[in-house]
């Protein structure tokens, strides 16, 4: 699980594990320990956020924390050492404990030599160690910080009385040796596609790594990046004709794309440009469903669970799938097969502080109404607390997204990757409606069903949506059709 350092056999390293499904990196959200703290096998030492969820990491041995390699907020590749532990405290050959990494600039110790190949970590296996040595990033000269501050003041409308004289940047004291520029493979490919020589690109990433933004900045003929001190945010290339080079703007904020937001972006782009989407709509009178919800809230069998319209809508969709099982399928591009699912893992789109996630209720088709209500309540509570596991978001077959909670009438939802259909539920509103030949105020909502047209023809999609609407209009069909 871990490897010994070369410095002393008493120090053990704990690496960033692959916490689920081949993820390559994770952001350290919070450290629960500091250098000098005693830890025990299985104790949670930090919380990390992957592209799918926030996960707590337990350490697999006893000892005293010697060093934290990265600060909170740092994104770390799987397989990198994040903490070292003194497993035999009190020995004389112990070096002085290292202080915790600073908030703005993480300190990374020199990596220890390890056997070639993949080394096992906490969950899954880490990647093979790279022979490339990362170079420490040096702070900008004080003069550069002064220039940046003056420029930012000018942007904010607080310009100085006298212009700031240009300052010639000084070479760093410990300039890194000239060699192959540090950049990840996607960045190298981007540079190659744009015809940019990486050796001529100024790196702004952690430890001197060239980022995509650096390559784009180098490709812009007019843009000029200004170096700033470590206390200032990452430099932004700004193109302003016939004006001095500037950095950033009080009118814009740049937010790094990572974690859940990065996963959402990749999943939505992949889904939108892989599965041909079709969306159909229906407006339905749900007055009887709302009466049923009110009655269920008073039912002793439903005591202790949350009863709301979403519960009945979920049950209606499950019945519609049972009546039209072909809709519950997946497209296997590799084998050119349609995979029919004889189970329903019902996804529920949930908005959380970290972004949109879609956990699912396993084998929802087998659950009674009280069991489904309990599962929904647990799913929502776990998502709200940020404790949804990657396993809880894997293996979904069909999803419901309730945009009505935001007062929205309906939408055209994008499929969760690997799924065949997604049902959007709009706001339930009191509207004039023809009921028994007379116009009366009724509770009405609009449903939208998006489906993968490779799997689902228009007739099948229409039947599923019509069945859901019919059940919500006459909830007794939950019994007659089930």
Q: Residue 125's pLDDT band (boundaries 50, 70, 90)?
A: very low
Q: Residue 239's pLDDT band (boundaries 50, 70, 90)?
A: very low
Provide the CB-side half-sphere exposure for 16 (13 A, CA).
26
| Residue, of 98 and 455, whose pLDDT is higher | 455
Per-residue confidence (pLDDT) for residue 116, from 0 to 100: 44
Checking if the pLDDT of 430 tops 90, the result is yes
Active-site option among 158, 216, 277, 453:
453
Q: Which of 256-270, 317-331, 346-360, 370-384 has the lowest mean pLDDT?
A: 256-270
Checking if the pLDDT of 83 tops 80, the result is yes
Per-residue confidence (pLDDT) for residue 215, from 0 to 100: 77
DSSP tag of 458: H
Q: Which of 441, 455, 453, 347 is nearest to 402 (CA)?
A: 347
Residues 6+ apart with CB under 8 A from 400: 310, 313, 314, 317, 346, 347, 348, 349, 422, 423, 424, 425
DSSP string, 250-311: TT-------HHHHHHHHHHHHHHTTS-EEEEEEEEE-HHHHHHHHHHHT-GGGTTS---HHH
Checking if the pLDDT of 3 tops 60, the result is no
Per-residue confidence (pLDDT) for residue 22, from 0 to 100: 62
Residue 341 structure tokens: 């699912």
Q: Which of 73-82, 153-162, 297-306 has the lowest mean pLDDT?
A: 153-162
Q: Residue 195's pLDDT band (boundaries 50, 70, 90)?
A: confident
Q: Residue 110's pLDDT band (boundaries 50, 70, 90)?
A: very low
**Phi and psi torsions of 264, nearest 5°:** -60, -45
Q: Residue 400's pLDDT band (boundaries 50, 70, 90)?
A: very high
Per-residue confidence (pLDDT) for residue 92, from 0 to 100: 57
Average pLDDT over residues 103-125: 42
Residues 6+ apart with CB under 8 A from 446: 281, 282, 283, 284, 409, 410, 426
Per-residue confidence (pLDDT) for residue 232, from 0 to 100: 39
| Residue, of 264 and 446, whose pLDDT is higher | 446
Per-residue confidence (pLDDT) for residue 314, from 0 to 100: 97
Q: How far apart are CA 80 and CA 57, in angstroms?
A: 14
Per-residue confidence (pLDDT) for residue 338, from 0 to 100: 92
Q: Which of 140, 168, 146, 165 is nearest to 244 (CA)?
A: 165
pTM here is 0.55
Average pLDDT over residues 244-264: 70
Cα 336–337–340 angle (5° rounding)? 160
- % of the chain beyond a pLDDT of 90: 43
Per-residue confidence (pLDDT) for residue 220, from 0 to 100: 64
Q: Which of 451, 453, 405, 455 is nearest to 425 (CA)?
A: 405
Q: Mean pLDDT across the chain, nearest whole number?
A: 77
Per-residue confidence (pLDDT) for residue 95, from 0 to 100: 53
Whether the Cβ atoms of residue 170 and residue 141 lie closer than 8 Å to each other: yes
- % of the chain beyond a pLDDT of 70: 71
* Pairing relationship of beta strands 277-285 and 438-452 according to DSSP bridges: antiparallel
End-to-end CA distance of the chain: 50
Provide the CB-side half-sphere exposure for 164 (13 A, CA).
20
Average pLDDT over residues 146-151: 46
Average pLDDT over residues 297-315: 93
Number of Cβ atoms within 10 Å of the Cβ of 375: 21
Per-residue confidence (pLDDT) for residue 445, from 0 to 100: 97
Checking if the pLDDT of 117 tops 60, the result is no
Q: How far apart are CA 56 and CA 46, in angstroms?
A: 6
Q: Residue 93's pLDDT band (boundaries 50, 70, 90)?
A: low
Whether the Cβ atoms of residue 315 and residue 369 lie closer than 8 Å to each other: yes
Residues of 111-147 as b/e, b for ≥16 C-beta within 10 angstroms? eeebeeeebebbeeebbebeeeebbebeebbeebbeb
Q: How far apart are CA 265 and CA 271, in angstroms?
A: 10
Dump pLDDT digits (tens) for 309-352: 999 999 999 999 999 999 999 999 889 999 999 999 999 998 88
Average pLDDT over residues 257-281: 81
Checking if the pLDDT of 288 tops 70, the result is yes
Please tell me which of 58-72, 193-207, 254-268 the model is most confident about, judged by mean pLDDT: 58-72
Q: Identify whether 158 is a catalytic site residue.
A: no
Average pLDDT over residues 41-52: 83
Checking if the pLDDT of 428 tops 90, the result is yes
């Amino acid at each position: 699980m871990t490897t010994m350092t070369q410095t002393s056999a008493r120090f053990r390293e704990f690496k960033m594990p692959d916490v689920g499904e081949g993820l390559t990196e994770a952001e350290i959200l919070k450290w629960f320990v500091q250098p000098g703290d005693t830890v025990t096998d299985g104790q949670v030492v930090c919380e990390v956020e992957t592209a799918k969820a926030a996960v707590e990491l337990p350490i697999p041995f006893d000892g005293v924390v010697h060093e934290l390699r990265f600060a909170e907020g740092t994104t770390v590749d799987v397989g990198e050492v994040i903490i070292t532990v003194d497993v035999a405290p009190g020995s004389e050959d112990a070096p002085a404990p290292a202080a915790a990494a600073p908030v703005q600039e993480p300190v990374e110790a020199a990596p220890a030599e390890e056997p070639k190949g993949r080394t096992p970590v906490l969950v899954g296996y880490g990647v093979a160690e790279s022979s490339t040595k990362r170079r420490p990033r040096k702070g900008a000269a004080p003069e550069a910080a002064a220039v940046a501050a003056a420029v930012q003041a000018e942007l904010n409308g607080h310009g100085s009385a006298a212009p700031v004289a240009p300052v010639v940047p000084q070479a760093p004291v410990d300039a890194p040796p000239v060699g192959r520029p540090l950049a990840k493979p996607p960045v190298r490919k981007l540079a190659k596609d744009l015809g940019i020589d990486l050796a001529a690109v100024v790196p702004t990433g952690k430890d001197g790594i060239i980022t995509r933004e650096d390559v784009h900045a180098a490709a812009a003929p007019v843009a000029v990046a200004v170096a700033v001190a470590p206390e200032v945010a990452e430099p932004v290339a700004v193109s302003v004709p016939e004006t001095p080079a500037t950095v950033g703007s009080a009118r814009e904020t740049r937010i790094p794309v990572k974690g859940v937001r990065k996963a959402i972006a990749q999943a939505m782009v992949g889904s939108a440009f892989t599965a041909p989407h079709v969306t159909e709509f229906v407006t339905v009178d749900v007055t009887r469903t709302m009466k049923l919800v009110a009655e269920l809230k008073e039912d002793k069998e439903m005591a202790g669970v949350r009863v709301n319209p979403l519960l009945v809508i979920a049950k209606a969709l499950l019945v519609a799938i049972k009546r039209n099982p072909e809709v519950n399928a997946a497209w296997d591009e590799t084998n050119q097969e349609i995979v029919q699912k004889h189970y329903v893992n019902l996804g529920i789109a949930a908005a959380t502080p970290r972004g949109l996630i879609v956990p699912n209720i396993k084998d929802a088709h087998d659950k009674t109404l009280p069991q489904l209500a309990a599962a929904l309540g647990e799913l929502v509570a776990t998502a709200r607390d940020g404790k949804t596991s990657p396993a809880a978001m894997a293996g979904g077959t069909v999803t419901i997204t309730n945009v009505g909670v935001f007062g929205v009438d309906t939408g055209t939802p994008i499929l969760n990757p690997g799924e065949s259909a997604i049902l959007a539920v709009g706001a339930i509103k009191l509207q004039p409606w023809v009921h028994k030949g007379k116009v009366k105020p009724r509770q009405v909502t609009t449903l939208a069903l998006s489906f993968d047209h490779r799997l689902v023809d228009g007739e099948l999609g229409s039947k599923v949506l019509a069945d859901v609407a019919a059940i919500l209009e006459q909830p007794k069909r939950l019994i007659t059709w089930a």
